[in-house]
Structure 1
Amino acid sequence: MAITLSALLAAPALKLQRVGTSPVTDVPVQWVAVTELEDPQPFLSGGEVVLTTGLRQKSATSQRNFVKRVHASGALAVGFGTGLSHEKVPSAFLDQADELGLPVFRVPYETPFIAIGKIVADSLSEEHYARLENLLKGHQVLASALLGGGGLPQLLRELAALLRTDVVLSQYGTRLFATGSGAEQDREWHRVPVATGLKDRCTLAIAEPYERDAIVAYAQSLISVELSNQARRRASERAVVGQLLQDVVRGTIAGTDAAARLGSAGIDTVRRQCVVIADVATGQRRALRTLPLPGKHDDVVTAILDDRLVIAVPESDGESLSREISEYLHGAGFTAKVGFGGGYAQPSGLRWSYFEARESLTRGQAVNRPDRLSLTSLLMASEDVPLADLASEALDPVAAFDERHGAELMLTLEKYLALNGSVAAVADVLQLHRNTVRYRLQQIVDLTGYDPSITADRVHLYLALNVRGLR
């Protein structure tokens, strides 16, 4: 630690003598400034001991002004060198210092100013070296904690011990880890951002009071690297499991082969499994590849399939996990909806649960419960049925016409099919004349070649609309 003013005055080799009545404190001396300027204030930053021989202080007024300016700069004390221009500390100088509470000490002729500066500089060097030594030890402690198997939790525990306070790491608005009680209310926190390359609002919060320490910057770097590595691993694992689930869903693999491969991925199909699907706005889907789940669910099997986050969990956890994921995503700023399927055993059951979960998303609620699978979903379970092509062939001309003319033909068709082909009901819902509805239906016939008033064509258009909604 830097030498204090009282310790400096007590150094026997310097033979310094306190004069005046101002009290001496144990505040560390930041530097020694030697000056003979009448106004040294512009060159002082506070915390110094100012040394002078009073060479230019010929009058009582100049002496008082010098003391006032030194005091205004925040200096700790003034050392007055005697034996040159003054045999003793001038009374006006001393009176002004006592009035302001600025300590004054006499520096005898035989004590060079440089000797005082050297003692202060040596103490500052020792303090700086000690800080560097402690910083290097702290670096080793944090790196060992992270690489020694304890991961981020152990690193943060060690950081809290080094800072002698609590820390909280948050990502996507959710707490990943906290030391102590972790209660953030009724406490002051210093928050520092952690860069991960993601729009995840990752923050390290440190409970006040704590001594600002360079170890925090090193901890930020380690946390950043570890979270980035975790994100890359998560994206890779989700891509691999997503490919496996895609093969199961499409029926490319089945039976014992599918069960074995799912088991190696951590999905036990002997037990009844439930599929949970989380979907977000198109512009946010990229984040699902690396998004961490809330802490207690970090070990569940996750995948990316059709740009959606897919989670396989035991049947009993399906609904509760869906609600937690929904709250988590909305809290993290995502526009999200979550659907889950029923619980079934065997790979075929997992496939069935997936289609139930995907169809439940069409209801558009924050959390969507499973229901009976529609004919559309059952047909889509088979890759042999080209429903996507059917939907494009039937409805793309209608969608293109709507985009060019704002004709709302697609909306009219949806209402017509939903209202069992009643022109009157459609006109009432859309607040149109019945002839306008009939005109729009004829436009659909002209564009697609399918007549919604004919049962076979109506089924075709109904399937196309539903496939369009599921994609």
Structure 2
Amino acid sequence: MRLRALLETEALGLRLLGGEDELDRTVRGVMTTDLRDPSRYLTGGELVLTGLAWRRNSADSEPFVRILASAGVAGLAAGEAELGDIPDDLVSACRRNRLPLFAVNEDVAFATITEYVVRQVSGERAGDLAAVVDRHRRLMTSGPAGGGPDVVLDLLTTDLDLRAWVLSPTGRQIAGAGEPLAPGVCAALAAEHLAAVRTGRRGPHRISLQGMTYSLFPIRGAGRGPGGPGARDVRESVLSDWLLAVEADAGDWPAERLDLLQGVTQLIAVERDRRDAARTVRRRLAQEVLELVQTGAPPAEIAARLRVAAPVLLPGLGTAPHWQVVVARVDWDGGDIPGGPVAQSLLEEILVDPSVSGPEPSDRIAVAHAGDEAIALVPLPALPAEPGEEKGPDRALHADELLSAVREPLQAGLADDGRLTLGVSAAVHSAEGLRGALEEARHARRVAAARPGRVCAAGHHELASHVLLLPFVPDDVRRAFTARLLDPLRDYDRRHRAELIPTLEAFLDCDGSWTRCATRLHLHVNTLRYRVGRIEQLTGRDLSRLEDKLDFFLALRMS
């Protein structure tokens, strides 16, 4: 707003005492002070209100006014309640420094002026920003230019002094202006948002955390959310919608500012829909591989499809990666809501490292869905081995780690009528192992489903040997278990002719006796100890433990 507008508002009771030629200055804020030197609190463009308590004699006016002029304030308004008429020395100092000066009637409170200025400045900024947001929306809907959510959030910060972040339903930060939020804060904000949506509360939702108040606005794209086309129930979208978290209390915001934030969420939703459309290719690749695996296609055909998928999922990768399968299922009480699409969207988010911000990391996750299951094909880049090692570091996903950072928000979104169960296979190095990995992940998910709780996961390592003896365990799971234990030894024997498999069989037949086993194999005991040590190193097992001996025994019998 302009200084001139203050004189045109009779309710403010302002009289101009000097600075007629400077009334077109822009007012960007308001500050009340009686400090002799308030420069540290000034940023420029303020209307400064003062009761003149800083003034002891006429010599004080010039330094005070010079400080304000140097700071670039828009004008000075002095109250008449303390001294009556405004001193001439202050009027003269303002004229010399070309600083507009107003007298404030003693009947008018500074709070009245402050409220008026803040309301006007905020409204005009919001109007200007709304126009910018509208232009940005047209750019994003008409072509690739636009810059994404971060540009819009930067506008909120620079024009309205609002810090804001876009979060996924699991609490991962997708975009933000300024410093990122702490992971615990993100998880708590996402949980509050999901709980509010599940209970039907109208947004924006407000929450106080660590002394700060946040307002949460849902971001819903086309076809998602209550009332959207194709969305019959809030549970169909609650675990896939993004949210906008603003560091402010929106409870007393005027309608114009609320409308502006609603426009921002719609703009970000455009970007969300665009990314969902781009994800279609990866989903189709996953669906094609899944259909080949489930129909028993030849490994060569599956391997060819994987070679097509690898450059899309891991651009620039020189060699074919290892693969891992993750199966997730979302079940709602009553069973009247399809869980497959919900689980698909949710699994794509869960598989992203929660410490990585931005929307791009999920672009390398390929998730298909079959019925109520979501099935992810996760590429694992093969890392180079350290000197003296047979293989590189383990980069495989672990079931107990996948849900640790997202459990709080997911429990809030599932409420008391939903459940998420998740199973993780071991890593496989070729197309031949994918069918076994799929069945292994499915069986691990069944193990998780047998546990109490709304969010449960299980991994391949929990399919112990005694579980494999149960009659309902699929043959593919048994074969995957056997391959995971014995394939590293077979590969080593093939490359080095080390006879680790015969050594393992003899060692178990001799009940772990070093002397009897060495005699049977016609080896020195030290040579036997070297071979057993290599077996343990390649498999990560300990042949002094009864459980590991039993696993090897069953694997050899089932091979």
TM-score with structure 2 length normalisation? Answer: 0.42
